[in-house]
Every structure is written in C-alpha cells, then in structure tokens.
Amino acid sequence: MTVTVRFAPSPTGYIHVGNLRPAILNALYARANGGTFILRLDDTDEERSTPEYAAAIKEDLGWLGLAWDRFETQSSRKARYDEIKTALVDAGLLYPCYETPEELDLKRKIALNAGRPPVYDRAALTLTDDDRKAFEGEGRAPHYRFKLPAITAQWDDGIVGHKAVDLTTQSDPVLIRADGTMLYTLPSVTDDLDFGVTHIIRGDDHTTNTAVQLAIFAEVAKIMGKGTDAIPSFAHHALIVGADGAGLSKRLGSLAVRDFRDRGYEPIALLSLMARIGTSDPVDLAANLDELAAGFTFDKVSHSQARFDNVELDHLNARFVHEQGFDAVADELSGLGVSGPQAARFWDAVKANLTRVQQAADWWPVVAEQITPVIADDDREFIAGAAAHLPDVLDGDAWGVWTKALKQETGRKGKQLFMPLRQALTGKDHGPELKNLLPLIPRDEVLRRLGA
C-alpha cells in the first residue's frame, strides 16, 4: 500500500500556524513513508472561496518547500459529487428534510429542557409525498441528511489510540443545504476514496466528526464498489495554542504564514518549529524537510496541545542567520540597500546580533550614512576628549587601542567607558561589537559624531 495523504484547506483565507500544522504533519508522514502528498482545495463554498486565496495557499506552501505531488480542486468535481448524491438518495441513505432553522432550534431547546440530547428526531422520514409537496408549495426547499446507522463507530486512531462513538447520540448530519450546495463532508469523503487517500491527519477538533464520516465512508465505498480496506485510517493531533496556553483564535491575524515571510523569517526556521512542537523530538533547527521527516512516526506526536512560541521561532531563525556567509544573503542584503565594497565585512560584523536578515538594514546607516549621535550631558566632556585619542588608522585593533588609552586617561571602565562611546558612534545603546563596526565607519564621520 502506497501511503497517500492530503492537505485540504478551503481558499477562504490565508494559511496560519493553526492550519499549517496538519499541512506539515501530512507532508512529513508522506515523505517518511515514500508516499504521495495531495494538495486539495476544498472550494465548494462559492461565496467565500476566492482565486486570490487559492493562489496564496499555493504560494505559501511553495515558500515553505512543502511541495505537493498532486493538485486537485473540488470545484472541478461537482458532477462526481452529484453522482454520489443521487446514489445515496436512491439507497434511502440521504433523505430530504424541510424544517426551517427556527424550527430546528425550537426542537433542540425542547429536547434540552426535557433532559434529552438535542439529536434530530428524524421527523422527515415520516413525511409522505403529499407532505413534501405541501412544503414545497410553501416555497420550502429541502436540505438533505445522511441516515446514520445505529452502531458504535470504532477506529484505532494513529495518535490518540482506540476511539468509539455511539452514533445514536449524533444527529443525522446535513450533507446538502437547502440552496443545493454541499457541505464539505460528502465531497471530502468522495475525494478521499477516489484519490486513494490512506491516512487522514487532522486536528482533534474533528474527532467526533470522524465517527460520523466513517459511516458515510462505508456507504460511499459500497456505491463505488470498494471494500472497507479503501476507507482511510485516521490520526488526530492536538491543536496549537499560544505560549501561554491560550487559544490562537484572536491572534490569527498576525500568525499567517505570509506575515512571517514578510517579517523576514526563514522557511526552515518556521518548518523546524512547527514540525517539532507537540512531539517527543527536541525543537532544533533542521537543515531541510528530509531531516525533519527522517524517523517521523505518529508515536512521537503528543496528545497534549502544541505551544507556539514566537521566542522559540526567533531563536531558530537567529541560529540560521548566524550560520550564513555573505554569499548566501547577498541578494537579500542588496534588496535592503546593503551593497558595495564594505557589504561583506559589514555582514560579518552584524550578523551575530540579528534575528532576521532584514534587521541588517537597521545597522547599515551606522556605517554608511551620517547619523545623529546620542550623548548624555554628563558624558559630553568625555566624548569630546575621546576624539583626541582616536587612532589615525581604524583597523581591527583600533577599538582596543582607543579604549585602552581612554581608560588610562579618564579612569573610566566597564559600562561607564563603553556605553557613551556606543551611543555616540551608533545612536543606540546595544548592538554589534564596536571593534567590528568601528573600522567600517569613515574616520571623519567618527570625528563628526564625537563632536570634533
């Protein structure tokens, strides 16, 4: 059996860290098992799905290096779904219902007040042809429900273990709305069986849905002439939460994949974090996706919620940046305005203090432009006197020679000696080592900043 998995986002928004996790876990499982990774756009929601979001999903996955082996869209398969719908209706498994949302809500409230579970009462199954004609004469269009069997659905989940759900505690699910559009369930089941999907890896918020879908899988597989071995296995991972354990729902606006890209994060840093949080493997910077996939199994995925911490992402990204030679980042630096004979020396001087490559643009003016020095009133005399001791040649030894002379002259040492010089030369109170920056600044500009 060839492992076949799918990532099936709806093109109704951008990919964010919440739905990036199943994308990564599916890609890792396929790669670890020499399988096939399908990207399927569940775009049956015509009102909310847009070509722009569809293109963005492909672009974001491409930026991350999550290459797919097969691409499908549900919007191109409507005839196939109608075929399966008709077969289910003919088999008496998909039946028309005419209740309005208000009537259904009232039924739920009555059941709850009576201490009963708010399960649909299947009243529509007792309707006669005349009843249905009367409803349609009122202008009511039917929605369709799938008739669940009175069984306990059971499966061995790849991550959370054995699961069992009594389907008599579940309402028959609506598969087709009154306006004729299909909810995702029937198209998804149809696609999974048609495309030979072997494993469905998704969030544990779908666990109860799985029990219902297994019943639908069984009947659709029969219609297709397939056996139960065609029904995929399931693995439900815990959802992503923030570093504080709180949900991400209110923060997703700043957690889109493209936002991380635009802020200068490296794809391998984001992949490394997302692939390892919530697993038994330590979070560490990987060289590539193959390294992340090596040895990946469901046994490593924790049942506990995975915590997304931007501090960890910064740490991984910084490690990547610190390891990069100038040639690897030259084009990006050029796009930031960092170019010329000193660009390579500048990169070596500042990279150890960067979390992202684009932050180099914050330091380039320090060596390439005139900046406004910061000089405290108590330090003005010291800074003015420092100019007299500035070495004639600003080479790699200049900083040490200069500060040694100033220490002997003024008695200053430590922060009292170094901080005023840093603020005057860079306009900042932190940053790269000045022994590396000083040789990159023209001597006359250094003197100007010192007020000489």
How are beta strands 233-237 and 199-203 bridged, if at all?
A: parallel
Where is 235: in which H helix or E strand? strand 233-237
Dihedral sign, Cα of residue 248, residue 250, residue 251, residue 257: positive
Per-residue pLDDT of the chain (452 residues; tens, 9 = 90+): 799 999 999 999 999 999 999 999 999 999 999 999 999 999 988 889 999 999 999 999 999 999 999 999 999 999 999 999 999 999 999 999 999 999 999 999 999 999 999 999 999 999 999 999 999 999 999 999 999 999 999 999 999 999 999 999 999 999 999 999 999 999 999 999 999 999 999 999 999 899 999 999 999 999 999 999 999 999 999 999 988 888 776 555 568 999 999 999 999 999 999 999 999 999 999 999 999 999 899 999 999 999 999 999 999 999 999 999 999 999 999 999 999 999 999 999 999 999 999 999 999 999 999 999 999 999 999 999 999 999 999 999 999 999 999 999 999 999 999 999 999 999 999 999 999 999 999 999 999 999 96
Return the CATH fold of 326-449. Arc Repressor Mutant, subunit A (1.10.10)
Closest CA to 289 of 69, 32, 36: 32
CA distance 261 to 323: 19
Token pair for residue 379? Answer: 């330090």
Say if CB 258 and CB 284 are below 8 A apart: no
* Correct CATH for 241-322 of 1.10.8.60, 3.10.20.30, 1.10.1160.10, 3.55.10.10: 1.10.1160.10
Q: Where are the domains of the chain?
A: 241-322, 326-449
CA distance 452 to 409: 18
Where is 78: in which H helix or E strand? helix 78-90
Distance of CA 452 to the CA centre of its chain: 53
pLDDT the model gives residue 254? 67
Where is 192: in which H helix or E strand? helix 185-194
